[in-house]
Structure 1
Amino acid sequence: MIIDKTRRARRKSPDDGWLTGVWIRSDTKLVQWHPGYFLPTVGGGLLAAGGSAALGRSRLSQIMFGYGLICWLALGSILLARLFTQAPLPTPFVPTIAIEPAPPVVAGNAWFTMTGGRLDIVVTACAGYAILMVLVQFSMFSTYRKVPLDPGYWAFAFSYAAGVTNSLHWLAAENVNGLKSISYVILTAATCALVALSARTVVAIASKTFFPRVPSVTST
């Protein structure tokens, strides 16, 4: 399975270049992919771009933005092809579809930091794609409700936190009236959602339903 190969690659090296090489060398099937693979590749590159820009390393931020962008284009096409054409994801991996809005909003956040909060065609294009993926999330609500709470649900935390940050960038760039009040409302809603997810996670752990059960192997 691609998941096992990825884990082995991660143990050998933290370098995403090594991980990409493992994927190229491996005999993997399209049905084995899921959006969780955005996090160590696209997420790593784009977060590094934003962090580098915040530290004043403009050239490094440009390099890392390109790194994350190419990962997004490559993996995004693979993952959408998998979701469009293959059997539905196994139940534990269904919540990873919540990661689909993350690449455009994380890219937008990084670009805002790199350009000093300026609105231009890059962040506007990212916002357009993000809107599409957010609309997809609304259509997925009935599917998500059928999935028991498990670690996969924490995929929502990363994507929605990145989306909230992107919204705040947009409000500031547009110089919206009542910016501070609106920001407090958005941050309060996001915090409440995170607290609710954390509380439900604690309850599920306490009731021993949070982690998938692995069938015990009995000797004959």
Structure 2
Amino acid sequence: MASAILLQQPPCFICRVVRDVSLPPSSARLSDFLDGRSFSSAPDSSAGSRSRSALLHRLLTGPALSPPLRPTLGIQLAPPTVGALAYISVTQGPADTLVHAMIGYGLLQALILLRLLPWITKEPFSLAYWAFTFGATALATAPMRLIERGDTGPVVQLAPILFIAANIVVVLVAAATIWLIVSRKLVIGWMDLPHRDAGAVGQG
């Protein structure tokens, strides 16, 4: 039943998954109990993985996303990158294979989104494009946090590139948003979404 519900959700639903994965260990970080933080991250990461599998299945087998929803695919970059930051916050010492794998998976997601960008940008700019900024900033921050811990691997070369790329993404999205506000074209039309060609989201 739960899987069937997940399959009907748009990609932006994964925002809740990101929150569930990152919030417990990040919040526990404030209490400065390393063991408690480590234990709290495990079940939430497991739940995030299961939800993500269902969402990816929906993207691969369900109807194609309508143009207004395509920019929300940018949130797919967030789970591995925000998860990497949460993992860094609950561990100490040099980086291990797991956090490198999470950053690498985030890079893979970024390349996939870059490949899909011509298809995604068929929809004029809207607030949905802010979905890209969450994961982009996390992907840029994680390598810098590892360098602070003395990591001398590929992250040293990746960090400045990712930092510049994340800043470009945020500046472009912010500038486009300001332009919409100035030109009085900023419209929040999600209430009308079910009446449009919204793919699986707008059905039933």
Residue pair 2:17, 2:79 contacting (<8 A) in 1 also = no
The reply to whether residue 128 of structure 1 matches residue 104 of structure 2 is yes
TM-score w.r.t. the length of structure 2 is 0.76
After the TM superposition, which residues 190-205 of structure 1 pair with which residues of structure 2 at under 5 Å, given as runs? 190-205=166-181
How much has 1:59 moved relative to structure 2? 3.4
The reply to whether residue 73 of structure 1 matches residue 20 of structure 2 is no
**In the alignment, which residue of structure 2 is the partner of 1:40?**
16
How much has 1:85 moved relative to structure 2? 0.9
Letter of the structure 1 residue corresponding to residue 106 of structure 2 = A
Larger Rg: 1
TM-score w.r.t. the length of structure 1 is 0.71
Distance across 2 between alignment mates of 1:35 and 1:133: 14
Letter of the structure 2 residue corresponding to residue 111 of structure 1 = Y
Letter of the structure 2 residue corresponding to residue 199 of structure 1 = A
Identity of aligned residues (%): 25
The reply to whether residue 96 of structure 1 matches residue 72 of structure 2 is yes
**In the alignment, which residue of structure 1 is the partner of 2:199?**
none
Aligned CA RMSD, in angstroms, stands at 3.0
Residue pair 1:47, 1:106 contacting (<8 A) in 2 also = no
Any runs of at least 4 consecutive aligned residues in structure 1 with deviations exceeding 4 A, and if so which?
Answer: 182-189, 212-215
- Can you list the C-alpha shifts for 1:10-69, whole angstroms capped at 9, x where unaligned? xxxxxxxxxxxxx83x97473x32221222233343143134235413233224312431
Closer, same or farther in 2 for the Cα pair 1:98/1:209, shift >3 Å? Answer: same
Q: Secondary structure in 2 aligned to 1:68? A: helix
How much has 1:128 moved relative to structure 2? 3.2
Structure 1: tracts of 5 or more residues without a match: 1-22, 216-220
Distance across 2 between alignment mates of 1:165 and 1:33: 29
The reply to whether residue 60 of structure 1 matches residue 36 of structure 2 is yes
Distance across 1 between alignment mates of 2:79 and 2:6: 23
Q: Higher relative contact order by CA 8 Å / sep ≥ 6: 1 or 2?
A: 2
